[in-house]
Chain A
């Protein structure tokens, strides 16, 4: 609750910055604001708040996910300082990012379909604009346009699903819907149709195969910092929403959506990882890898046991931190060498040892190799899925991860074993700080993952 108010007021303040000309102060102000938001957010731990006539509920689930989102947002701001310097209308960009964060927090805490819809839109509409923020770059234009069309298209499916579920149960409230479908009476057929349509809509948002086709294009065309935002915060928030809807509300009827999610998860892991192998540009490869990671998270969603909430929280955290680190390095290297092909990374181990080491740690984490956070993330996900009895799916997931190891290592090999440009790339203080923090976080989470797992 406090997080929502603080983030919204930060957004409004950044809009006013242009008017009262304190643009220079805005960057530290936003960073401080995010720290304050984080502190106020965790103060509500264990105190479940129902606000806005039970439209939102700030329980531990919401607080855990929104705190992770705020931490990632803080790291993202460290990464994105350059993005805010270059622009003439930078206050708008601050405001758009902060309003998108408001949407993300709503998605973690909604208890009503109306808030689900509004959260998704508050998150998406600023993203459409931010994706197109390099106005004269045609691929940024194209990415923004595609994202808008696909986003609105997916929202259409989601809304049709919500309308059908409303028709079947007479309510938008998650608890009432849950009661309606668990009561003895027969649930009308349109409920199941509505549920599947909502599944389609949310699969678009988390870019699960076969609804992923927009994601690589949008991730590649968008400015790299915005790609990092989409791959981490947007995906995490969409998963928090997905989990809340399916594991909490539709759990009773999991028989009717289980098989569909099974197929989605298997396809997402396989197609994401296999297509990533054939990419020659690193940004696009990471885009496909992010599609594949959505598949692993679907695995825990399918398991729907007491384990899966914390498994997804941990996976989301590990994946987001790893992605922020890799996207930062990709933007630095692509900015300095003029291109994000894999060959740009040749010889990075000699010219910039720090970049190469952090990149290696982050890639190992994404690939799921111990002792990094990614290993335990995958371990928990696979365990939760195994307990739920989805042995076949776990096997597919392991095969998919092995394919993943191949393309992550291709980058590591390029950095250390290939001769390339020996000129060292200069680093900002912010970026140095960010890289050190993410590398330490990945290792710490990999060595003692307990404190996140015990949260939920």
Chain B
């Protein structure tokens, strides 16, 4: 299985993950819909997962893959809390657009 991952050079994984991560960052910064922001955050975390698996395979070391499980579990918890908070916001404002959240400014 390792060999299948190692067909592609490590640099390419690094590049792919950086691009995915950047897309996630830009999504968080520029999209206005709360659900899409959550998806962008997931994209960031999954870019990290992919990178960890690639490194883990190239270093022949299982620790990186175990870390991925931690990230997946925590990301699931975070999204559960996040969607609950979004529901709370939606009940009060009837919108999932983050522009309605403008009460706190200086």
Q: Mark A129-144, 1 if CB is under 8 A from B, else 0.
A: 1001001101101111
Min CB–CB distance B37 → chain A (angstroms): 6
Min CB–CB distance A308 → chain B (angstroms): 30
A171 to B93, CA, bound (A): 46
**A160–B67 contact, CB under 8 A?**
no
Partner of A145, one of B25, B71, B101: B101
Q: Mark A179-213, 1 if CB is under 8 A from B, else 0.
A: 00000000000100000000000000000000000
Q: A135-B88, A139-B104, A152-B78 are in contact. Are A166 and B93 (CB under 8 A)?
A: no
Partner of B101, one of A142, A155, A216: A142
Q: Mark A108-124, 1 if CB is under 8 A from B, else 0.
A: 00000110011001000
A145 to B86, CA, bound (A): 7
Residues of chain B within 8 A (CB-CB) of A136 are 92
Min CB–CB distance B44 → chain A (angstroms): 4
Q: A145-B89, A167-B55, A221-B104 are in contact. Are A156 and B21 (CB under 8 A)?
A: yes
A405 within 8 A of B: no
**A144–B77 contact, CB under 8 A?**
no
Residues of chain B within 8 A (CB-CB) of A125 are 77-78, 81
**A190–B14 contact, CB under 8 A?**
yes
A406 within 8 A of B: no
**A114–B81 contact, CB under 8 A?**
no
With an 8 Å Cβ cutoff, the count of chain B residues facing the other chain is: 43
A172 within 8 A of B: yes
Q: A163-B55, A170-B61, A172-B63 are in contact. Are A156 and B44 (CB under 8 A)?
A: yes
Residues of chain B within 8 A (CB-CB) of A162 are 48, 67
**B88–A160 contact, CB under 8 A?**
no
Q: Mark A228-265, 1 if CB is under 8 A from B, else 0.
A: 00000000000000000000000000000000000000
**A275–B106 contact, CB under 8 A?**
yes
Min CB–CB distance B13 → chain A (angstroms): 9
Task: Tell me the A residues contacting B by CB distance below 8 Å.
Answer: 113-114, 117-118, 121, 125, 128-129, 132, 135-136, 138-139, 141-146, 148-149, 152-153, 155-156, 159-160, 162-164, 166-167, 170-172, 190, 216-217, 220-221, 275, 278-279, 284
21 contacts between A and B (CB under 8 A): A129-B85, A139-B103, A141-B85, A145-B89, A148-B78, A153-B25, A155-B45, A156-B24, A156-B25, A156-B44, A159-B71, A163-B17, A163-B52, A163-B55, A166-B67, A171-B63, A172-B63, A172-B67, A216-B106, A278-B106, A284-B106
- Other than the given A117-B67, A142-B102, 5 more pairs (CB < 8 A) read A117-B71, A121-B78, A149-B37, A167-B14, A275-B106
The 4 A-B residue pairs whose C-beta atoms are closest, nearest first, are A156-B44, A217-B104, A167-B55, A142-B101
